[in-house]
Amino acid sequence: MTRLYNYAAVCIGDKYPPEIYVENLWLGINQHTTGPVCLTVLTDQPDHPYYADRPIRTVQAPSWEISDNRLFWWYKMFLFSPHMELNGEILYLDLDTIIVGNMNKFFDYTNNFCICQDFNRKWIRNYGMSNSSVFKYNTARDNFIWEKFNQDRAYYIKKFRGDQDFITHYMNKKSQWWPTNWAMSFKWEIFKGGLIRSGTGLDSAGNFPADDNKYHTPEQPWILPSDCSIVVYHGKPNPVDTDFFRSVRPEFQQLTL
């Protein structure tokens, strides 16, 4: 029986236009997955014209009272809900990730719940938090995450800084981190060979990038390990603001925002 590779994403609000960011994922998924694929997007705009032209499945996001777009990451919890009508193993990807290499290995790698180690790993090897930019879950085994969160959404949103803190806490020893190079931070680990010392990757004015003397190889725009498959953006900059995005996605060379 042919295996179907199921992917999921969340597109809420207007920060990440689907015609750019969902399309970026869709192109990468099809380019780097061997076998049939299905992408399901949890969105507050399932009738957006973009989806009419793509074989992408959409699910209407619930109407939660979350007005602060900095808290939209909490919608990831709904991925674990049976209302998503997903079955088996699902690989979730943040919209501000860029696929650059083989994706089948994420599905073949252990049956456990898998997630990124937080990118502070660059400075603290045993850093105990997870980063939820890329995670693989099983709908039957891991639905307790939704059940727990749904008991008191307002309480957990107030108690935890974000969804990845909630997942780190309740998955505890049930999860496993991806190999380090498979999913890497653009601004801390990829750009100009990565930062030399702990820092934000921003300059003194809070803009990207930091000064050249902060990087291992300032003369090179980026260094991408051969086994890296996903480049993760977190905070500043957004993918579309970088030359790396346009080098991977020449379809967006003329993009202006």
Give how far the C-alpha of residue 12 lies from the chain's centroid of Cα atoms, to the nearest Å. Answer: 14
Question: To 10 degrees, what angle do helices 163-171 and 144-151 make?
Answer: 120
The pLDDT tens digits for 99-132 are: 999 999 999 998 999 999 999 999 998 998 999 9
5-252 is a CATH 3.90.550.10 domain: yes
Q: Tell me the pTM.
A: 0.95
What single DSSP character describes residue 38? E
Q: For the chain, which residues make up each domain, given as ranges? A: 5-252
Task: Judge residue 176's burial from the number of C-beta atoms within 10 Å of its C-beta, 0-12 exposed, 13-18 middle, 19 or more buried.
Answer: middle
Using the structure block, give the residue that is written with the tokens 């045993």: 126
Using the structure block, give the residue that is written with the tokens 């496993």: 176
The pLDDT tens digits for 65-89 are: 776 666 788 999 999 999 999 999 9
The pLDDT tens digits for 132-172 are: 999 999 999 999 999 999 999 989 999 998 999 999 999 87
Cα separation of the two ends of the chain: 44
